[in-house]
């Protein structure tokens, strides 16, 4: 149980294009999902908190117009990197907090490696 998937696992795109990453909770509902960014050999940096049916909350320094987040259902959140540039290349990981959980438990997806040429 508690499986989170991400698609795609790896994407290469040209500078200036937009890329959409999907995050799905496969066997549970998640009112809240999170998007993280991880640089090589570094810790996870929270980018935004996504709540189903409402606007995402972005961390300080994260451009909301560049990283568009949509949480349309209790099992799906999407992150769109708009007008991607090489500095956006990174490992993007989502996590989901089960609606039924009594703790702040988060389950992570396998991550998406984005490379912008």
Q: Where do contacts with other proteins occur on this chain (CB under 8 A)?
A: 2, 4, 6, 32, 34, 42-44, 46, 49, 93, 95, 97, 103-111, 113
Min dist CB 103 to other proteins, Å, is 6
Min dist CB 44 to other proteins, Å, is 5
Nearer Cβ to other proteins, position 14 or 100?
100
Tell me the three-class secondary structure of 16-77, residue by residue: CCCEEEEEEECCCCEEEEEEEEECCCCCEEEEEEEECCCCCEECCCCCCCCEEEEEEECCEE
Here the tokens at position 38 are: 């991880």
Min dist CB 60 to other proteins, Å, is 10
């Amino acid at each position: 149980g508690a499986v989170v998937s991400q698609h795609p696992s790896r994407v290469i795109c040209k500078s200036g294009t937009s890329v959409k990453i999907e995050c799905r909770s496969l066997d549970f509902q998640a009112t809240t999902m999170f998007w993280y960014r991880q640089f090589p050999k570094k810790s996870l940096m929270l980018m935004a908190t996504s709540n189903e049916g409402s606007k995402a909350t972005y961390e300080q320094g994260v451009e909301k117009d560049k990283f568009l987040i949509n949480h349309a259902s209790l099992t799906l959140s999407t992150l769109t990197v708009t007008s991607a540039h090489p500095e956006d290349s990174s490992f993007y990981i989502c996590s989901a907090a089960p609606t039924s959980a009594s703790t702040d438990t988060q389950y992570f997806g396998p991550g998406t490696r984005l490379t912008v040429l």
